[in-house]
Amino acid sequence: MSKVQESIDVDVPLHTAYNQWTQFEEFPRFMEGVKEVRQLDDRHNHWRTSIAGVDREFDTEIVDQLPDERVAWRTVGGDVKQMGVVTFQPLDEGHTRVRLAMNVEPEGMVEKAADMLGMLDRRVRGDLRRFKGFVESRGEETGAWRGRVSPG
């Protein structure tokens, strides 16, 4: 299993960064290779991705979500195996640090080779940069979900 950790500082208040991240169906607007995310309920999302010519569909479950602090998830079922957490730290009233940590199990030779070449790290860094551009250019979130999802 590979571990990826990246962070970025965004020039928006904490609640704006957090609120935008909870809008999972907007992810294709800034995540490379993500074709669609459908939110099924408060805990579950269905993903369609196309990365390096490999199309996948899988479901994720939110396992811990605390407003303005973190969103943690894991995949459920299927052949995609990953888990992760994104955390939000206020730097001051108008700036927030977004940290993303993921554990990913590459499948097949293409994904394993890409992982060995650092492509996953670069993709996550790029996704965070695009998130920064997306949320800063808008200056406000496209929506918000402020509910609490407790572990277990």
59-72 per-position pLDDT tens digit: 999 999 999 999 99
> What three-state secondary structure class fits 79?
coil
> Residue 1's pLDDT is what?
74
> Residue 119's pLDDT is what?
74
> Residue 114's pLDDT is what?
67
d(CA 51, CA 33): 5
Domains and CATH numbers, the chain: 2-138 (3.30.530.20)
Rg (CA), the chain: 15
- Select from 3, 45, 32 the least CA-distant residue to 134: 32
Crossing angle for the helix pair 119-138 and 14-21, to the nearest 10 degrees: 120
Q: Output the six-digit token pair for 53.
A: 């010519």
- Select from 60, 31, 51 the least CA-distant residue to 124: 31
Using the 8-state DSSP alphabet, how is residue 67 labeled? Answer: T
Please give the model's pTM, rounded to 2 decimal places.
0.92
| pLDDT digits (tens), the chain, 152 positions | 789 999 999 999 999 999 999 999 999 999 999 999 999 999 999 999 987 778 889 999 999 999 999 999 999 987 889 999 999 999 999 999 999 999 988 777 767 666 676 677 888 999 999 999 999 999 999 999 999 999 97
d(CA 100, CA 26): 17
Judge whether 21 and 15 are in contact, CB under 8 Å.
no
* H-run or E-run covering 123: helix 119-138
Q: How many CB atoms within 10 Å of residue 10?
A: 23
